[in-house]
């Protein structure tokens, strides 16, 4: 191994305790998580610690995950749905370094804790699994009110009038609600959350799920939760149904499919190959691999 | 966690880490020694100490070395290290009258008790290159030290100095100090939920990023605000750190920290008993960083003015605007994160745009 491969990694890692954070920090995190679960959708402030990766790279999700992991856990980390994205690989390496005993996996069904950025896995999660989101902006009201003290009051009163006005203004200007990701979603009939920058496609997965969803915002120092079997409803007007990304080909009118596994119901990444041709492929790498395995087994 | 072998991203980041090391090692220059960083770049070193908010001079040097001299990144190393340490206790408030002063000036008075003491400062230097420094040997350093120490008795200078503002207080020009027994807000153990007490305000700025504090304070100085500060006293020196003895609880000296402290005097306001008095802004940070201490004291005053008046007229007076945006670790991190992949959200953006374009086409006013 080249000496630089251990830079900030294995050699120094040995000098840190299990899961990096000191025990007081982990206890505080667990208490905040409990509170978040008890009051679905409520943003619980906590003293977010600095992580050895930068703010904005998932320090909130990491702290939640580190507080959850024990040596018998199995952990998966994804970014944009993929395990091999640079940031996912980096965070996975950090867990490997600081959480001896924890098993790493690329398979969604094997993981007890999954940390994610921007996606919810396609495979429905079970009651014994926890999905931890990395959250850049925990507060859906930030688009209409920059002052944090005022926003806190608005949440307490469930005063979301200005969000509704924003949606209405979108309809007037574009005949469409323009919010693409971070779609404001009402939890258990009261608090509206920012579900993190997941696409619209993933928002329905929050509703009445079997698993626990935890959201950690490191820079903004908030934790919130969507517990299992809880209502999660994207806000919209009765005559404007909530629509997910269509992936419809404009010329043929048909939905694009994954060029690898052929899936016609997954969230797709759209990109150009070297010849400039447009390509579509499952964003959830584990899902795509699983489908390929099944197809091969069936042959 | 057991290592899961995956290709792509994992290999790429490993390569990037190696290249950072290569960048450092290429060429003929000898590896930097930690002492060289601390001794010959003390002001950069000071920035890292204060913004990292961990007084560990040796690790601050290592941080600068590892981060290739980036002060934001170096401060980040100290902060991250801090997260692994529990809080063991609290100290009583420290009196900076006990500071072993290496520099102190007052802009408010021609002469002050104990005298103005310039110490080491670039303030009155001509910023003209001394080209001979491009090539200097170790013997030159010996010569400089010998020249300076040779004709000086150690007892020439007093160690501590009275505070300039005490004189103003004695005369009733400045409100007497509150003997506050309010427990200080620990920003490392509780998030800022506004409104926050002044101790949270001061602590946040004490580890704020120099450039961020300066930009906001400068906006106030230029006219987006009206603090109009006079530097009552600016002092730099070593403050003995007293911690309670683990058994007896009696304060004992655990070492000393280099710090910069600035007290500015601002326009007068009505005091509680009706008579007008000058107002005060306070700034302090680890290390020798005068711009930071002055900027902090201006912002402290600006925020306090708005609090007293109950009206925020300028960004530098808004505690949320100032305190949530001056932390270098947080702002640098978030700025950097935009380089990460965002293709899922961008896909979602394209879907919305295409949908809106479709609606526009249907309506017969397609964008050209």
Chain A contact probe: residue of B62, B348, B361 with most A CBs at under 10 A: B348
Please tell me the predicted confidence (pLDDT) of residue B4.
55
Q: Which residues of B touch A102 (CB under 8 A)?
A: 1-2
A91-101 in b/e form (b: 16+ CB < 10 A) is bbbbbbbbbee
Residue B200 inside a domain? The answer is yes
Q: Could you tell me if A208 lies within 8 Å of chain B, comparing CB atoms?
A: no
Contact A258, A99 (CB under 8 A): no
Q: What is the DSSP string of B138-190?
A: HHHHHHHHHHHHHT--GGGS-S----HHHHHHHTTSBPPPP---PPPP-TTTS
Q: Are residues B146 and B28 in the same domain?
A: no
Question: pLDDT (tens digit, 9 = 90+) per residue, A175-195?
Answer: 999 999 999 999 999 999 999
Residue B87 inside a domain? The answer is no
| Facing residue for A89 by CB, picked from B9, B20, B320 | B9
Averaged pLDDT for residues A248-263: 93
- What CA–CA distance (Å, rounded) separates B260 from B291? 10
Q: Are residues B182 and B206 in the same domain?
A: yes
Q: Are residues B192 and B272 in the same domain?
A: yes
Please tell me the predicted confidence (pLDDT) of residue B82.
92
Q: Are residues B100 and B231 in the same domain?
A: yes
CA separation, residue B341 to residues A81, A88, A115, B164, B298 (Å)? 11, 11, 16, 55, 40
The token pair at B174 is: 């400045």
Is position A211 annotated as part of the catalytic site? no
Has residue A1 got a pLDDT over 50?
Answer: no
Averaged pLDDT for residues B262-266: 95
Domain range list for chain A = 3-141+176-234, 246-299
Averaged pLDDT for residues B291-317: 95
Averaged pLDDT for residues A110-130: 98
Q: Are residues B262 and B114 in the same domain?
A: yes
| Facing residue for B191 by CB, picked from A46, A103, A118 | A46
DSSP A127: T
Q: Kindly report the length of chain B.
A: 368
Contact A104, A96 (CB under 8 A): yes
pLDDT band at A133 (very low <50, low <70, confident <90, very high): very high
Q: Could you tell me if A272 lies within 8 Å of chain B, comparing CB atoms?
A: no
Range of the domain at B210: 96-331
Q: Are residues B209 and B316 in the same domain?
A: yes
pLDDT band at A276 (very low <50, low <70, confident <90, very high): confident
Q: Is the peptide bond before B195 cis (omega within 30 degrees of 0)?
A: yes
Query: Which residue in B has a C-alpha nearest to residue A147's C-alpha?
Result: B320
| Facing residue for B345 by CB, picked from A24, A93, A199 | A199
Q: Within its chain, how far is the Cα of A68 from the centroid?
A: 16
Please tell me the predicted confidence (pLDDT) of residue A91.
95
Averaged pLDDT for residues B234-250: 94
> Which phi and psi (to 5°) does residue A92 adopt?
-60, -40
Q: Return mean pLDDT, chain A.
A: 93
Q: Which residues of B touch A197 (CB under 8 A)?
A: 342, 344-345
Q: Within its chain, how far is the Cα of A149 from the centroid?
A: 26
Nearest C-alpha of chain B: how many angstroms from A187?
22
pLDDT band at B7 (very low <50, low <70, confident <90, very high): low
Is position A75 annotated as part of the catalytic site? no
Q: Which residues of A touch B344 (CB under 8 A)?
A: 80-81, 118-119, 181, 197-199, 267, 269, 283
| The most confident of B31-40, B152-161, B261-270, by mean pLDDT | B31-40
Nearest C-alpha of chain B: how many angstroms from A274?
18
Q: Are residues B123 and B238 in the same domain?
A: yes
Between B182 and A179, the higher pLDDT residue = A179
Chain A contact probe: residue of B4, B10, B75, B321 with most A CBs at under 10 A: B4
Q: Could you tell me if A155 lies within 8 Å of chain B, comparing CB atoms?
A: no
- What CA–CA distance (Å, rounded) separates B326 from B336? 16
Has residue B259 got a pLDDT over 70?
Answer: yes
| Facing residue for B17 by CB, picked from A7, A119, A271 | A7
- What CA–CA distance (Å, rounded) separates B107 from A44? 46
Contact B300, B279 (CB under 8 A): no
Residue A56's CB: how many other CB atoms inside 10 A? 22
Has residue A279 got a pLDDT over 60?
Answer: yes
Region of poorest pLDDT, from A65-79, B42-56, B137-151: B137-151
Is position A58 annotated as part of the catalytic site? no
Q: Which residues of A touch B2 (CB under 8 A)?
A: 96, 102-104
- What CA–CA distance (Å, rounded) separates B290 from A280? 56
Query: How many cross-chain Cβ pairs, A to B, lie less than 8 Å apart?
Result: 217
Q: What is the DSSP string of B306-350?
A: HHHHT---SGGG-HHHHHTT--HHHHHHHHHHTTS--HHHHHHHH
* Percent with pLDDT over 70 in chain A: 95
| Facing residue for B356 by CB, picked from A46, A178, A268 | A178
Residue ranges of alpha helices (H) inside B171-324 are 198-206, 210-222, 290-309, 319-323
Residue B44's CB: how many other CB atoms inside 10 A? 19
Contact B205, B260 (CB under 8 A): no
Q: Within its chain, how far is the Cα of A81 from the centroid?
A: 9
Task: Tell me the residues of chain A between 66 and 125 that have a Cβ less than 8 Å away from chain B.
Answer: 69, 75, 79-90, 92-93, 95-97, 99-106, 118-119
CA-based radius of gyration for chain A = 20
- How many independent structural domains does chain B possess? 2
* Closest to B25 measured CA to CA, from B83, B77, B71, B65: B65
Q: Are residues B120 and B185 in the same domain?
A: yes
Contact B96, B108 (CB under 8 A): no
- What CA–CA distance (Å, rounded) separates B17 from B107? 48
Contacts of B251 (CB under 8 A, 6+ apart): B91, B92, B242, B243, B244, B245
DSSP A192: E
Q: Could you tell me if A221 lies within 8 Å of chain B, comparing CB atoms?
A: yes
Averaged pLDDT for residues B343-354: 92
Task: Name the CATH superfamily, with its identifier, for domain A3-141+176-234.
Answer: Bacterial phosphonate metabolism protein PhnH (3.40.50.11310)
Averaged pLDDT for residues A167-175: 94
Q: Are residues B150 and B182 in the same domain?
A: yes
- What CA–CA distance (Å, rounded) separates B268 from B175? 10
Is position A41 annotated as part of the catalytic site? yes
Judged by CB atoms closer than 8 Å, whether chains meet at B80 and A2 is answered as no
| Facing residue for A197 by CB, picked from B86, B334, B345 | B345
Task: Tell me the residues of chain A between 43 and 72 that have a Cβ less than 8 Å away from chain B.
Answer: 45-52, 54-57, 59, 69
Residue B349 inside a domain? The answer is no
Has residue B3 got a pLDDT over 60?
Answer: no
Judged by CB atoms closer than 8 Å, whether chains meet at A181 and B345 is answered as yes
Q: Are residues B68 and B135 in the same domain?
A: no
Is position A99 annotated as part of the catalytic site? no
pLDDT band at A2 (very low <50, low <70, confident <90, very high): very low
Q: Within its chain, how far is the Cα of B1 from the centroid?
A: 37
Residue B170 inside a domain? The answer is yes
Has residue B54 got a pLDDT over 60?
Answer: yes
Judged by CB atoms closer than 8 Å, whether chains meet at A4 and B324 is answered as no
Prediction pTM value: 0.88
Looking at this predicted complex, what is its ipTM?
0.84
A195 burial (CB, 10 Å; 0-12 / 13-18 / 19+) is buried
In degrees, rounded to 5, the angle at the alpha carbon of residue A222 between the alpha carbons of residues A224 and A212 is 25
The token pair at B255 is: 């070492």
Q: Return mean pLDDT, chain B.
A: 91
Has residue B14 got a pLDDT over 80?
Answer: yes
Q: Which residues of A touch B14 (CB under 8 A)?
A: 5
| Facing residue for B194 by CB, picked from A23, A149, A270 | A149
* Closest to B67 measured CA to CA, from B82, B54, B52: B52
Contact A228, A209 (CB under 8 A): yes
Q: Are residues B323 and B294 in the same domain?
A: yes
* Percent with pLDDT over 90 in chain B: 69
Question: pLDDT (tens digit, 9 = 90+) per residue, A95-113?
Answer: 999 999 999 999 999 999 9
- What CA–CA distance (Å, rounded) separates A64 from A58? 10
The residue to which tokens 């009696």 are assigned:
B250
Q: Are residues B257 and B235 in the same domain?
A: yes
Averaged pLDDT for residues A195-210: 98
Residue B247 inside a domain? The answer is yes
Between A9 and A295, the higher pLDDT residue = A295
Q: Which residues of A touch B9 (CB under 8 A)?
A: 82, 84-90
The residue to which tokens 């396609």 are assigned:
A122
Question: pLDDT (tens digit, 9 = 90+) per residue, B130-139?
Answer: 999 999 988 9
Please tell me the predicted confidence (pLDDT) of residue A5.
40
Sort strands A74-79 and A103-104 into parallel, antiparallel or unpaired: parallel
The token pair at B74 is: 């170096």
Q: Which residues of A touch B79 (CB under 8 A)?
A: 50
Beta bridge partner(s), residue A248: A255
């Amino acid at each position: 191994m080249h000496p630089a491969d251990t830079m900030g990694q294995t050699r120094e890692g040995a000098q840190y305790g299990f899961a990096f954070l000191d025990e007081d920090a982990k206890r505080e995190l667990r208490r905040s998580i409990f509170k978040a679960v008890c009051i679905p959708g409520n943003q619980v402030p906590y003293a977010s610690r600095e992580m050895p990766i930068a703010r904005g790279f998932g320090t909130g999700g990491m702290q939640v995950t580190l507080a959850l992991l024990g040596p018998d856990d199995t952990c998966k980390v994804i970014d944009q749905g993929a395990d091999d994205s640079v940031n996912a690989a980096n965070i996975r390496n950090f867990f490997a370094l600081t959480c001896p005993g924890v098993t790493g996996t690329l398979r969604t069904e094997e993981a007890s804790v999954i940390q994610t950025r921007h996606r919810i896995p396609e495979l429905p999660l079970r009651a014994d699994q926890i999905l931890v989101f990395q959250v850049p902006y925990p507060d859906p009201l930030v688009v209409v009110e920059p002052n944090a003290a005022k926003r806190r009051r608005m949440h307490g009163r469930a005063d979301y009038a200005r969000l509704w006005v924003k949606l209405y203004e979108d309809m007037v200007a574009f005949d469409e609600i323009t919010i693409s990701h971070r779609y404001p979603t009402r939890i258990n009939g009261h608090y509206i959350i920012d579900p993190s920058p997941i696409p619209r496609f993933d928002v329905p997965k929050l509703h009445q799920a079997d698993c626990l969803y935890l959201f950690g915002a490191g820079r903004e120092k908030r934790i919130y939760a969507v517990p299992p079997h809880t209502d999660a409803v994207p806000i919209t007007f009765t005559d404007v149904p909530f629509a997910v990304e269509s992936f419809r080909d404009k010329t043929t009118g048909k939905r694009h499919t994954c060029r690898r596994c052929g899936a016609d119901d997954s969230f797709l990444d759209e990109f150009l190959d070297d010849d400039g041709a447009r390509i579509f492929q499952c964003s959830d790498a584990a899902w795509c691999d699983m489908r390929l395995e099944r197809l091969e087994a069936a042959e | 966690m057991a290592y899961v072998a995956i290709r792509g991203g994992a290999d790429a980041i490993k390569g990037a880490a190696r290249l950072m090391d290569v960048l450092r090692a290429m060429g003929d220059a000898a590896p930097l020694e930690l002492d060289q960083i601390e001794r010959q770049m003390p002001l950069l070193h000071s920035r890292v100490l204060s913004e990292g908010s961990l007084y560990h001079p040796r690790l601050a040097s290592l941080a600068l070395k590892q981060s290739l001299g980036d002060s934001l990144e170096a401060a980040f190393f100290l902060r991250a290290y801090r997260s692994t340490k529990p809080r063991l206790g609290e100290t009583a408030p420290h009196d900076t009258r006990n500071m072993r002063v290496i520099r102190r000036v007052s802009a408010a008075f021609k002469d002050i008790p104990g005298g103005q003491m310039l110490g080491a400062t670039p303030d009155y230097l001509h910023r003209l290159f001394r080209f001979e420094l491009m090539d200097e040997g170790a013997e030159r350093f010996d010569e400089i030290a010998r020249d300076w120490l040779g004709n000086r008795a150690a007892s020439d200078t007093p160690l501590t100095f009275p505070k300039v503002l005490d004189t103003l207080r004695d005369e009733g020009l400045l409100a007497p100090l509150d003997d506050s027994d309010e427990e200080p807000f620990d920003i490392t153990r509780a998030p800022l939920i506004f409104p926050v007490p002044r101790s949270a305000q001061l602590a946040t700025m004490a580890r704020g990023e120099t450039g961020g504090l300066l930009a906001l304070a400068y906006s106030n100085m230029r006219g987006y605000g009206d603090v109009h500060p006079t530097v009552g006293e600016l002092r730099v020196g070593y403050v003995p750190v007293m911690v309670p003895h683990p058994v007896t609880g009696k304060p004992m000296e655990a070492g000393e920290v280099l710090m910069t402290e600035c007290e500015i005097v601002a326009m007068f306001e009505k005091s509680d008993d009706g008579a007008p008095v000058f107002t005060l802004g306070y700034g302090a940070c680890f290390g020798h960083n005068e711009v930071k201490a002055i900027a902090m004291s201006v912002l402290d005053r600006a925020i306090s003015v708005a609090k007293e008046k109950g009206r925020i007229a300028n960004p530098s007076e808004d505690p949320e605007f100032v305190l949530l945006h001056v932390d270098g670790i947080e702002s640098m991190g978030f700025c950097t994160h935009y380089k990460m992949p965002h293709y899922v959200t961008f896909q979602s953006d394209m879907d919305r745009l295409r949908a809106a374009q479709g609606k526009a086409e249907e309506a017969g006013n397609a964008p050209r």
